Structure formats: C-alpha cells, structure tokens
Structure 1
C-alpha cells in the first residue's frame, strides 16, 4: 500500500502566507482596504510593500542593502515616506489585522515578486492606474505593474480597480 502525501496548503485552497500589497504615496485607499479585507477574512497578516524605483538591490534581496541608480541623487533615497506610513496606519486603524510595511528596491513588479517569494505570500494585491494622462504615458513607456505580475507569478494576483470607468451606454444595471 502506498502512502498518499499530505496536500500542500495551496492545493487545499487554504492560504497560509501573508497578503502582500503594493503601496505608494497618494494611492487610492481602496487598494489597502481590499487587501486588509482579504487578510482579515483569511486570518493572515498584511505586508505593505513600498518599491522605490530610484534604488536597486545591491545583493539581489528585497530588504537588503540598496544603492541609488543616480549616484548624484539624493542621499538616503531608500526608505518609506513618513506620510505613506501615516496614511496606511490611518486606513488600517479600524481593521483587525496585523500589518507591517517594508521598503523594496527596484522596479515595482520585480521587487514585489521577489518579496512575495521571500515571505511565502499567499497573494499579491495591487491597484490599477488612475485614468489620467500621466498614468497613460507611464503605462505606454513602462508598462503595467499588474500586467507584469499576473503573467509571471505562481501566487494569485488581485488587481483592484482604483477608479473604474463605466461607459455611459452600459445598460447592465
């Protein structure tokens, strides 16, 4: 008689690792709130990750030493803006969820992917871009973080619409 191995938590549909959410200054609150809702519902911690694209990871790790891309740039550029930490703390004040915030270095999609693998995340949560001209230009030149993530991840990626546009002629009411 052969012994059947115990199923992995992922195979049983039970999430076991933290929920990882990409955060940035002036981000719409709905992204963090949706991530908190998922984390609280699953009884998991929430890890907020701020990726600083102006620095790169020196040793390839997410939370390790980083150096500025522009050596003449502002010294000490890596770090989490205090206003971002305060905003997240305010948003999560009413939620019964353990949370933390970590700085990441490098291009956001790659940095989030590295961090998700590093912490054994159950899910990555990101928001869509706002419907503004600058966001459209960024998407054309740099691409979408969400698109890069969901094409290259082994963990689920939840993309939260920041301000969805519904056509006027949409009659699905």
Structure 2
C-alpha cells in the first residue's frame, strides 16, 4: 500500500482530457499523486501479475484467450504530459472486471482519498449500455467510503430532455 495519498481516476481511450485535468486539480490541492485506472469490463482477473499487470479471462467462454491486461499506450501518451506539466506523480494500472468494484479495490490498495470518473454522454446508446451494465458512478457512490467526483463529459442545457428522463 502506498503511503502517499492518491487520487484515483478511471480512464478510457476515448475520454476527453478534462476528466484527468480535474483529477490533477484535486491531486495538487491534496498534495497527492494520481493513479489512472483502465478497466476491461468484458474480462475478469484470473491472477495478479508483476508491476500492475493482471492476467484476465473473458466472461464469455467464446470470448477469446486469457491475456495480460496492459494500459493503452495512447492514453499514457496523452495523460503523462498533463501530469508532468501539473507537477503531479502519475501511475497507470490496467485491470479487468466490474469498473466500480475495481476502482474501489485500487483506491484501497493505493491510499486513494477520492475517485474521479467521467459521466456518460447523454445519448440513447449510452443509456442502453447503462441499462445493461449499470452506472460506474452510481456503483461507486453506493459502495465507497471515499468521495466520488463525477466530471461531466458532455453537459447539456437544463432545458434539454435527457433520454432517461421520464418527467419530460
């Protein structure tokens, strides 16, 4: 377990920079590092490997082979310069399983003081995915002792009807 506090941030390959930028703001205010966590939700952890690499298998028996989970190098290339410019130590962990559960586990093992995630985009497709897979932010909010910060990815005006809002 790391003794220095960490801000845990869930990252995805297509996520905008401002989620990590907000995590860096919190890290600087709390004199903490950030730990970027990428979770493959189509797989589960079979074994913990060395240096943050895990061995993962697909949930679907026809879904492929057991593999080592590695952090997306393109995401590292985008995030590392942001952390360096902010003067914040940054580490990367790739894992597999339920994103909310795995972010919580990383927060426990890395002295996480809070968890930062991006919201989902306000679209029918994201609403449908959330119906089947659940909201990472909601899962974290109900299962964590530490604060969860949700950074809006694509805010819409208050007058705009959202796909999941039945009151309009």
CA shift for structure 1 position 100: 0.8
2:23 pairs with 13, 35, 42, which one?
Answer: 35
The answer for the alignment partner of 1:78 in structure 2 is 69
Give the greater-gyration-radius structure (CA): 1
CA shift for structure 1 position 127: 0.9
Given that 2:39 and 2:94 are in contact with CA atoms closer than 8 Å, whether structure 1 keeps it comes out as: yes
TM-score normalised by the chain length of structure 1: 0.79
Higher strand share: 2
1:47-58 equivalence runs, <5 A: 47-58=35-46
Q: CA–CA distance in 2 between the matches of 1:53 and 1:139? A: 13
Given that 1:55 and 1:78 are in contact with CA atoms closer than 8 Å, whether structure 2 keeps it comes out as: no
**Cα separation, partners in 2 of 1:71 and 1:83, compared to 1, 3 Å:** farther
The worse-fitting range, judged by mean Cα deviation, of 82-91 and 58-67 is: 58-67
CA shift for structure 1 position 36: 0.5
The answer for the alignment partner of 2:113 in structure 1 is 122
1:17 aligns with 2:28: no
Given that 1:54 and 1:77 are in contact with CA atoms closer than 8 Å, whether structure 2 keeps it comes out as: no
Segments of 4+ moved more than 4 angstroms: 59-64
The answer for the alignment partner of 2:59 in structure 1 is 69
CA shift for structure 1 position 79: 1.7
1:91 aligns with 2:82: yes
TM-score normalised by the chain length of structure 2: 0.81
Q: Any idea what the Cα deviations from partners look like across 1:15-52, whole Å, max 9, x if unmatched?
A: x6211000011101111000001001211110000011
Given that 2:7 and 2:32 are in contact with CA atoms closer than 8 Å, whether structure 1 keeps it comes out as: yes
How many pairs align? 154
Q: CA–CA distance in 2 between the matches of 1:93 and 1:133? A: 37
SS of the residue 1:24 aligns to: coil
1:158 pairs with 124, 146, 149, which one?
Answer: 149
